[in-house]
Amino acid sequence: MTELTWRGVVIGALITVVFTASNVYLGLRVGLTVATSIPAAVISMAVLRALGGGTILENNLVQTQASAAGTLSCVFASLPALVMAGFWQRFPFLQTAVLTAAGGMTGVLFTIPLRRVMLADPTLPFPEGVAAAEILRAGHHGESPGGLRALVHGGILAGGFTFASAGLRLLGDGVTASLTYGLSAFRFSLGFSPALLGAGYLVGLEGGLAMLLGALLTWEITIPVMAHMLPHPPGLSADDFATQIWKDKARFMGVGLIGVAAIWTVLRMGRPLLGSMRGLLARPSTPAGRPARTDTDLSPRAMLAVAGLVVVTIGGMFVAFSTSVGLASALVAALAGLACCLGLGLFVAAACGYMAGLVGSSSSPLSGVIILAAMCLACVFVALRAIGLFAGAEGQHFTIGFCLYALTAITASAAIANDNLQDLKTGRMVNATPWRQEIALLIGCVTGAVVIPPVLNVLYQTYGFVGAMPHAGMDPTQALAAPQPALLLMITSGIFLHQLDWSMLGLGVAAGCGLIALDGALRRSGRGALPPLAVGIGIYLPMSISMTLAVGALLGHVMMRLTKGAGRHQGTMVASGLIVGESLTGVVLACLSAASGRDAPLSLRPAGMGGLLPELAGLVAFCALCLWFARAQRGGTGG
């Protein structure tokens, strides 16, 4: 069957332009991106069907390339920080595109041995990868009319719901209830997201409950206690103070917990990873010893060639960035940065791949892992300054900028690993050839990296960033907030200036060690599991996300018990449809926002209308969607 084709590469590149531009804009405006894998699968399926002669494997390769390129846009989290700190006045094409592409390629190389370990792990559901595979099967084989009907109905309902809430703003996107007691505020928050509801179903009960536990521990215990221990700013309500504590304090406890849980996860995978590497490097002496087509990765020679090219490229970009400090210092900085990129890159690839397998790419706290990487990079260069390198104020200014630049390569690697294992899971389910998928992933890194610099330059010159306006007289109210770059700049500068509060990170590390021990005891006793990484995700993510994922997981578990497992396939198709509908609608709305320069160009909500009525309407609509989802799992499609 046709798989990797020139027309597929061209189609994937064209889809890349739309996804990358919309994700960069959305990320800089509100700090969020939309998942690209499933929309890419739907769009490529429609295009190939119109052109004729397309196969499920060719379709899979197109969505693999396009989703990798769209995911690479996550470098918006670090690159604008260089402009906001005054290191750059614009985004130079070669320094931006080449480093982004090379960093993404390291993520592809790291996921090759991870593929053999993680895709075989029964505890990792890979929700979006499974959903994409179900979509490809339903679209190309048509072997399950009932399942296809459930997929379409779920997509239509989710798309309509998302358009009414995020597009027209007639429905609220969530509901929040707070109970104030003195200086403390106890909060309950639920998001009205069809995609998160479907993803929660695919995540399963253990992961959903673990995230719910993390959210409840944070908002019902940790934040109320801290509100009584910290000085209360005058004029700030208890509810706003709780939000401030979560942003500035409690989230960092989640970062520490994610860090120690991720390290434990990587260590636990150490022996399988070594076995996977030996299997990759071993060359079978006879045709009978060769692996099947569906388990064949890139050859060792090809991987070494790509790795060598990537290492030389990243090192060259680091030297080019460091010319202002002299050749000797530039070489030291480049070697230290390269070592950090390779060492931290493997860690963040494994951690992000595991989290994506656990809760899906969209819900994986990628920014939390990037914060850890930023801290590690900054600490390395603080140590280099302590031994006499990069001395003086100029040297400190350079090291802050270099850390942010090197962080771009690590961010690209983490983002690619976060998404690519979902694509490889999809490929395994549709019997794709892994080495061809890996080539498509490498192509996606190049096509996405080419698009990113001009998009960043256009957005910066048109709107500017908060605190960094390119021209005099620009309207600061239209500036892009760029929340992640501002946070990374604050953390990196805070470490060099010794202004960062490490107490919450330490508390998260201690909590993570306790949860690892508890999870091990539960597994040994046969009483289930409590994934520490999922608890950390529940602490780090907004409560509305964790709660919605938990609702989907609980709903799926209850219906699975009622149907005695008979509704599993039907439920998977409905959940996939919910993810598809919201993802596609989100991409369209992001493109409209980027074109118009406004957050909600289609909003019909009157300027004076408060949020209570839309929230109530959204709650009613979301409850109706949950009831329809439950009914669909029992055999009906709600139509």
Residue 157 has pLDDT above 50, yes or no: yes
pLDDT at 97: 92
User: Which secondary structure element, helix H or strand E, spans residue 179, and what is its range?
Assistant: strand 174-181
DSSP 424: H
How many other CB atoms are there within 10 angstroms of residue 387's CB atom?
Answer: 8
Q: Kindly state the percentage of the chain with pLDDT values over 90.
A: 7
For the segment 175-204, the average pLDDT, to the nearest whole number, is 83
Tokens 């109905």 appear where?
Answer: 153
> Which has the higher per-residue pLDDT, 360 or 74?
74
- 22-31, 199-208, 311-320: range with lowest mean pLDDT: 22-31
Residue 595 has pLDDT above 60, yes or no: yes
* Local confidence band at 314 (pLDDT 50, 70, 90 cut-offs): very high
pLDDT at 549: 84
For the segment 136-158, the average pLDDT, to the nearest whole number, is 71
* Local confidence band at 596 (pLDDT 50, 70, 90 cut-offs): confident
Residue 348 has pLDDT above 70, yes or no: yes
**87-100 in b/e burial notation, b at 16+ Cβ within 10 A?**
bbeebeeebbbbbb
> Which has the higher per-residue pLDDT, 358 or 97?
97
pLDDT at 99: 92
Separation of alpha carbons 371 and 502, rounded Å: 13
For the segment 383-388, the average pLDDT, to the nearest whole number, is 82
pLDDT one-digit tens code per residue, 395-435: 778 888 888 899 999 988 888 887 788 888 888 888 888 88
* Local confidence band at 13 (pLDDT 50, 70, 90 cut-offs): confident
For the segment 449-474, the average pLDDT, to the nearest whole number, is 80
pLDDT at 197: 87
For the segment 357-385, the average pLDDT, to the nearest whole number, is 77
* Local confidence band at 392 (pLDDT 50, 70, 90 cut-offs): low
Q: Which residues, 6 or more positions from 331, have their beta carbon under 8 angstroms from its beta carbon?
A: 319
Q: Which residues, 6 or more positions from 527, have their beta carbon under 8 angstroms from its beta carbon?
A: none
* Local confidence band at 102 (pLDDT 50, 70, 90 cut-offs): very high
> Which has the higher per-residue pLDDT, 529 or 495?
495
* DSSP labels, 539-574: HHS-HHHHHHHHHHHHHHHHHHHHHTTTTHHHHHHH
pLDDT at 290: 63
Distances (CA, A) of 559 to 204, 565, 574, 591: 12, 8, 13, 37
Residue 141 has pLDDT above 60, yes or no: no
> Which has the higher per-residue pLDDT, 490 or 360?
490
For the segment 22-50, the average pLDDT, to the nearest whole number, is 71
Q: Identify the CA nearest to 344 among candidates 372, 313, 311, 367.
A: 372
* pTM across the whole model: 0.74
Residue 456 has pLDDT above 80, yes or no: yes
Residue 148 has pLDDT above 80, yes or no: no
Residue 175 has pLDDT above 50, yes or no: yes
pLDDT at 621: 93
Separation of alpha carbons 412 and 563, rounded Å: 43
pLDDT at 312: 93
pLDDT at 636: 47
**139-161 in b/e burial notation, b at 16+ Cβ within 10 A?**
bbeeebeebbbbbbbbbebbbbb
Q: Kindly state the percentage of the chain with pLDDT values over 70.
A: 86
pLDDT one-digit tens code per residue, 250-268: 877 887 887 787 777 767 7
* DSSP labels, 113-171: HHHHHHTT-TT---HHHHHHHHHHHHHHH---HHHHHHHHHHHHHHHHHHIIIIIS--S
Separation of alpha carbons 193 and 278, rounded Å: 43
- 189-193, 241-245, 577-581: range with lowest mean pLDDT: 577-581
Q: Which residues, 6 or more positions from 406, have their beta carbon under 8 angstroms from its beta carbon?
A: 318, 337, 340, 341, 377
pLDDT at 639: 40
pLDDT at 286: 45
Beta bridge partners of 513: none
